[in-house]
Amino acid sequence: MKQIEKIASADNFSAANVGQFSSLQDYALVLSPEVKIPGKVFGGAALGTTGSEFSFQSFAPGTETGFLHTHKNHEELYFFLAGNGEFQVDGHIFPVTEGSVVRVAPAGRRSVRNNGSSALVMLCVQYKASTVTADDAADGEILSEPVAW
């Protein structure tokens, strides 16, 4: 099974590479001996994330998650990077395509399927719900030091 490549790290950063999206099918998330999800890889552990988790997933044409799921505490953002499909939340079904973004609250019963003719590729970011405040948009600071490449 394919592993995430760690690129670099130091005190204040870490970097990794999952490879080309066309090779996501080389990954598999094994939840139990009976449950294996092809084309899915979580990346938080490889980067040492402390406030969120993320995964990439590729669905071959005609495939789907095959189950509904919810979360206890985590909201999720789904970014669709390639392909066409449908997303379902609480029985509401709508199309998704490259450039679509979907936010789902923890209790939302969700699933996704690829009804297109090419791979449906998505990035999912999960984080603890109700933690972002209006002040967070102003959290960044522009430094006066010059950028040196």
pLDDT in tens, 108-142: 999 999 999 999 999 999 999 999 888 888 899 99
* Residue at 88 is within a domain: yes
* Residue at 145 is within a domain: no
pLDDT digits (tens, 9 = 90+) for 40-73: 999 999 999 999 999 999 999 999 998 999 999 9
Write the secondary structure of the chain as one string of H (helix), E (strand) and C (coil): CCCCEEEEEECCEEEEECCCHHHHHHCEEECCCCCEEECEEECHHHHCCCCEEEEEEEECCCCECCCCECCCCEEEEEEEEECEEEEEECCEEEEEECCCEEEECCCCCEEEECCCCCCEEEEEEEEECCCCCHHHHHCCCCCCCCCCC
* Residue at 143 is within a domain: no
* Residue at 103 is within a domain: yes
* Residue at 142 is within a domain: no
**pLDDT at residue 137, as a whole number:** 84
Q: How many domains does the chain have?
A: 1
* Residue at 139 is within a domain: no
- Domain region containing 36: 5-131
Give the CATH number of the domain where residue 49 resides. 2.60.120.10
Is pLDDT at 36 greater than 90 in this prediction?
no
* Residue at 113 is within a domain: yes
* Residue at 70 is within a domain: yes
